[in-house]
Every structure is written in structure tokens, then in C-alpha cells.
Amino acid sequence: MNPFTRFLFELQGVTDLFVRVVRGLTKKPRYFDEIIRQLDLIGVGSAGIVILTGFFTGGVLILQAYPTLQYYGAQSNAGQGVATSLIRELGPVLSALMVAGRVGSAISAELGSMVVSQQIEAMRALGTSPARKLVTPRLVALIIALPLLTVAADLFGLIGGGLVANLVYGLDTTVYVTSVRVGVSINDLLGGIFKPVVFGFIIGIVSCHKGLSTTGGTVGVGRSTTSAVVVSSVWVIIVDFFLSKILQQFFTGTMF
């Protein structure tokens, strides 16, 4: 099968799954308990690595940018530099990539093993829709959790940046905070929270689809786990570009 045909088939699978999930949301039973459980696993469980990633990313941004800013005598704008790049781009994208690695892989491995050990078939035989019981809670949890995780990453990134600016380059904290407050607009914040909503959806639907379409035993589980992480990461990065462009035009009011 050529790559394009395969892509179309995958797209069909993902769309079909999405339709089932949406239909599942409109009808009973809705699995609220399961959503809460997944929020705990996905959201609370990923908080540590996402915060750590944000913190050090903020730090390294200042570490690298400060000398250049100093060269132009613009070191008082250091906070703005970190804040805009973190909130607009790095926060959402890096959090999404970390979550894709940690949660996307776990989801597709779990669903994939359930497929190969016939648990998914057993579930259907017992009259439950796997899309409703397994996919919907994970997808909803990801869409709720990822923006929250991103905000945490942004916040800790700013703290990391401030610490490095202060401790390594001796920049006054008040100057840093003022620069952050002046530099960040409401549009940056809205865009920075909207992006992870989309990324959460991408990671969730891709990982669930990859997991549920596992074939070929335990080897197949490995394969679908790998491709869940790779495919969702790549899509996050591609979609991020177009989303940035769209948001830019939306906020500046110059659509095309």
C-alpha cells in the first residue's frame, strides 16, 4: 500500500473513532468516574515532568538570550523574551511532546494489549462500546489536562528564567517581572491556552486509534506504541505552525 493510501485509511479510522466518541458523549452511559480517574493519571501524573521541562526551558532561554540582549543594551527586556516565546510556543509544544511521550505511549500500549488479549472483543461482547468506555474518557481528560499542564509549564518556565537572570546575570527581579508583565498580551495567553486544547485532542485521538487498531500480537503492541508517539508528536509540531499562523492573523485582525 502506498503511503498516501495508507494515510487516507488512517484518516478514515481516526475520523470514524471521533464520530463514535462524539456520539458517545450525547448518549448514556457517560463514564464520569472514568474521566476523573484519567484526569488524575494523565494530568496529575504528568505534572512533575511538565513542570521540570518548563522550568529548565525558561532557564536555558535566558541563559542563551541574555548575552545577546546585553550586547544591544536591552537586558531589561529579558523577561519579555522568555515570556512570549514560552507562552506562545515552547510551553504548549514542549508540554504536548512530553505528554505525547508519557501518556500517548501508555494509552496505545494499554489499548493495544487489550486488543491482542481479546479484552476489547470481550467488552463489545458484553455490550459496552470501547469508544465510549475507553476512548472518550481519555480524550476528554487530555483536552482538559493539557492546557492546565501548559499553564504550569509556563509559570515554572518564567520562574526558571527569572532565577537564572537573577543568579547568573544579576538582573534585578523587579525589572524581570515588569518586563514579563509588559511583554505578555492577553492574546498571547489565549493563544497559549487554545493550542494545547488542540494538541490534547491530537494526542488522544491518535494514540487511541493506534492502540485500538493494533494487530499482530505483542510485537504489534510495540509497533503501535512507537507510532502513536511519533505520529502524534509530528502532528503536534505541524499543527502548531499552522495554528500559530492562524492565531496571529486572528488576533491582528488581518485574516488573509
Partner 1 sequence: MTPESSYNLNGNSTPAIEFRDVYLAFDDQVILEGVNFSVKRGETKLVLGGSGTGKSTVIKLILGLLRPDAGSVIVDGEDLSDFDDEDLRRIRKKIGMVFQEGALFDSLSVYENVAYRLTEEKVPADEIEHEVRRMLQFVDLEDAIDKMPAELSGGMRRRVGIARALVGNPSIVLFDEPTAGLDPPTARTICELAIKLRDLEEVSSIFVTHEMNNLEYLSSEYAIVDNNGNVHFEEDGEFLCMLNTGALMLKDGEIIFDGSDRALLAADDPYIRRFIRGK
Site residues (vs partner 1, CB under 8 A): 29, 113-114, 117-119, 121-129
Closest distance of CB 62 from partner 1, Å:
44
With CA atoms as reference, report the closest residue to 208 among 232, 185, 172.
232
Q: Which is nearer to partner 1, 62 or 114 (CB)?
A: 114
Nearer CB in complex with partner 1: 60/123: 123
CB of 65 to partner 1, least distance (A): 47
User: In the chain, which residue ranges form alpha helices assigned H by DSSP?
Assistant: 3-26, 32-38, 45-71, 78-84, 91-99, 105-116, 119-125, 130, 136-167, 173-183, 186-212, 217-252
In angstroms, give the least distance from the CB of 121 to partner 1. Answer: 6
The Cα-based distances of 198 to 79, 194, 235 in angstroms read 27, 7, 11
In whole angstroms, the minimum distance from the beta carbon of 101 to partner 1 comes to 22
Sequence-distant (6+) residues with CB within 8 A of 50 are 95, 98, 99, 149, 150, 152, 153
The smaller minimum CB distance to partner 1, of residues 84 and 128, is found at: 128
CB 151 within 8 A of CB 52: no
**Whose Cβ is closer to partner 1: residue 127's or residue 170's?**
127
CB of residue 118 to partner 1, shortest distance in Å: 4
CB of 117 to partner 1, least distance (A): 6
Neighbours of 113 (CB within 10 A): 18
> Which lies closer to partner 1 via its Cβ, residue 20 or residue 223?
20
Q: Please give, one letter per residue, the 3-state secondary structure of 161-222.
A: HHHHHHHCCCCCHHHHHHHHHHHCCHHHHHHHHHHHHHHHHHHHHHHHHHHHCCCCHHHHHH
Name which of 94 and 120 has its Cβ closer to partner 1: 120
